[in-house]
Chains A and B, each alone.
Chain A
Amino acid sequence: MFNASDLRKGLKIEIDGQPYTITEFEFCKPGKGTALYRCRVKNLINGSTMERTYRPVDKIGKPDLEERELMYSYQDGDTFVFSDNETFEELRIGRDKLGDKAYFLIENAECKVLLFNGQPIDITLPVFIEKKVVYTEPGARGDTATNVMKPAKIDNGYELNVPLFINEGDMIKIDTRTGLYAERVNKA
């Protein structure tokens, strides 16, 4: 259990059996009264947020969270298989839990998987991945503007916007945190 005085921004706590992270934290002590710890918390599984206020006597649950470094191995239907480099243990994560991140998995990429009570709830991928553009309308020659975008598709079907100067066959860098185009790696 955590004491209220342990609370701070970024701390992960458990409320009603769900894991949360503290996104905003404020210490207050109104009118010569007791200290209060006001927190805005975000559910680590569904992303919902709420406010909670704790007193100095409160005990706050510590979630059973484990972060494991795993390597992405292969796709098996709608399941993605990761393996532990040391124990060779396999962990399978369904597409529903990965969302768009499923598009950014590259074989042998080192990923950080967050487990709550042994179940995967979040995954952190390498920040940038490189992918080939398989489809986009040709851009005007010599147009190097970066603020005008057009749609493009990468080899696994993921669609994103890229600058006009990107052509089919170009390798681009994608930011896995946002799913947005980052830069061109090389021309086709």
Chain B
Amino acid sequence: MPKESTKPDSIRRIEGLKRVLLKRSLLIGSIRSFLMERGFLELETPLLLDSPLPEAHIEAISTENGFLRTSHEPLLKACLAAGYDRIFEIGPCFRREEKGRLHREEFTMLEWYQAGASSADLIPFTKDLLVRAAKTTTGATRIKYGGTSIALDGEWEIIPLKKAFAKFAGVDMADSVGKNRFEMDLVERIEPALPKDRPCVLTGYPAEFRAYANLSASDPSVADRWELYVAGIEIANTYSELDDSCEIRRVMNDTAEKRASMGMKKYRECKIFEDAVSAGIPRSAGCAMGMDRLMMILSDARSLDEVKI
């Protein structure tokens, strides 16, 4: 009997990933060089935290010695407060009970922060980053996903969510939020209607979904925040980072209350983030991008299992 057939399925699965993992290594390398060439410093911050940053819909995985980080945000904001002005980190983050075709409890995330930048500055920057990543990984800036050709260096569609709700869902975004249907409408009506043949940036999330983003200066009913969709898949989330200490504390309290009302776990204060807030988080913009999903898009894969060990 040939030797191969005796290998356990898990080993054969990893064996089958060889090609895509080679591309993945090129992808991570290209993003690293792109950011470093632009003066960003790569950091490696702790995975294990005493307490996670409270978020309304994210549960951390607890260990005997603390919590696994759900994002790089609290530590990288501590670095911003410490005076590092262009920083990034690529590494694993953990979110409990997030499992599916596009979710894993452990996933790889890139986050970068730039002091002094606005969230709008990060749109052309992210475009350049993706173009470079695609070129290095696939040899082209035009990719094919699910039979649709997408020019990453072509025009990106920028759609304010308020308009998207009116156009695609036929409802007022504020009504949708008021009826507690925002996510449902987003998933059932907006996302399927987004153009698939070009990257799409959704801007102006409702203030209720601001997380740790500033509100828009021109329209305080929405957050100064955007999300990038490529091939209909949400791959990046960008904020104008909330920098007013009082506001940050208010958001943290509101979030803790919201969590309690939903019966979610109560966390102690996230000390390092509190310290960053006390020291002062500078005006900045930051982007979080899922590396596994990006790899899926660049390799025309349907599920994270096809691109990740």
In the complex, are the beta carbons of B209 and A53 less than 8 A apart? no
A29-B57, A31-B227 known; A36 and B101 CB under 8 Å? no
When C-beta atoms are compared, the residue in chain A nearest to B211 turns out to be A32
A33 to B209, CA, bound (A): 7
A5 to B100, CA, bound (A): 11
- Stretch from B37-45, B81-89, B180-188 at the A interface: B180-188
A5-B97, A27-B98, A53-B184 known; A32 and B103 CB under 8 Å? no
Which range holds the interface residue count of chain A? 10 to 19
Contacts of B209 in A (CB 8 A): 31-33
Contacts of A117 in B (CB 8 A): none
A25 to B191, CA, bound (A): 17
Contacts of B227 in A (CB 8 A): 31
A47-66 interface (Cβ within 8 A of B): 53, 55, 57
- CB contact between A26 and one of B57, B101, B202 (< 8 Å): that residue: B101
Contacts of A33 in B (CB 8 A): 57, 182-183, 186, 209
- CB contact between A30 and one of B58, B99, B186 (< 8 Å): that residue: B186
Contacts of A25 in B (CB 8 A): 100
Residue B106 lies at the interface, judged by CB distance under 8 Å to chain A: no
A-B pairs under 8 A by CB, number? 60
- CB contact between A36 and one of B58, B183, B262 (< 8 Å): that residue: B183
Within the complex, the shortest CB–CB distance from B42 to chain A, in Å, comes to 25
A38 to B103, CA, bound (A): 14
20 new A-B contacts at CB < 8 Å, known A27-B103, A28-B100, A33-B186: A26-B100, A27-B98, A27-B99, A27-B100, A27-B102, A29-B98, A29-B103, A30-B183, A30-B187, A31-B202, A31-B205, A31-B209, A32-B55, A32-B205, A33-B57, A33-B209, A35-B97, A35-B98, A36-B183, A53-B188
B contact residues, total (Cβ < 8 Å): 26
A101 to B37, CA, bound (A): 68
Please, could you name 27 A-B residue pairs with CB atoms under 8 Å apart, sorted by A? A5-B97, A26-B100, A26-B102, A27-B100, A28-B102, A28-B103, A28-B187, A29-B57, A30-B186, A30-B187, A31-B209, A31-B227, A31-B237, A32-B55, A32-B209, A32-B211, A33-B57, A33-B182, A33-B209, A34-B183, A35-B57, A35-B98, A36-B187, A53-B184, A53-B187, A53-B188, A55-B183
A98 to B183, CA, bound (A): 42
Residue B300 lies at the interface, judged by CB distance under 8 Å to chain A: no
Within the complex, the shortest CB–CB distance from B183 to chain A, in Å, comes to 4
Contacts of B187 in A (CB 8 A): 28, 30, 36, 38, 53
Contacts of B56 in A (CB 8 A): 32, 34
A103-134 interface (Cβ within 8 A of B): none
* Residues of chain B whose beta carbon lies under 8 Å from any beta carbon of chain A: 55-58, 97-103, 182-184, 186-188, 191, 202, 205, 209, 211, 227, 234, 237, 262
Within the complex, the shortest CB–CB distance from A147 to chain B, in Å, comes to 29
Within the complex, the shortest CB–CB distance from B161 to chain A, in Å, comes to 9
A30 to B182, CA, bound (A): 9
Contacts of A30 in B (CB 8 A): 183, 186-187, 191, 234
A-B CB proximity, top 7 nearest: A27-B100, A33-B183, A30-B186, A34-B57, A30-B187, A32-B211, A30-B183
In the complex, are the beta carbons of B184 and A36 less than 8 A apart? yes
Within the complex, the shortest CB–CB distance from B190 to chain A, in Å, comes to 8
A28 to B100, CA, bound (A): 8
Contacts of B102 in A (CB 8 A): 26-28
A33 to B182, CA, bound (A): 8
Contacts of B234 in A (CB 8 A): 30-31
Within the complex, the shortest CB–CB distance from A41 to chain B, in Å, comes to 15
Contacts of B262 in A (CB 8 A): 57
Write the A158-179 contact mask toward B (1 if CB under 8 angstroms, else 0): 0000000000000000000000
A152 to B237, CA, bound (A): 62
When C-beta atoms are compared, the residue in chain B nearest to A57 turns out to be B262
Contacts of B55 in A (CB 8 A): 32
Within the complex, the shortest CB–CB distance from B306 to chain A, in Å, comes to 16
A38 to B186, CA, bound (A): 12
Contacts of B183 in A (CB 8 A): 30-31, 33-34, 36, 55
Contacts of A38 in B (CB 8 A): 187
A33 to B55, CA, bound (A): 10
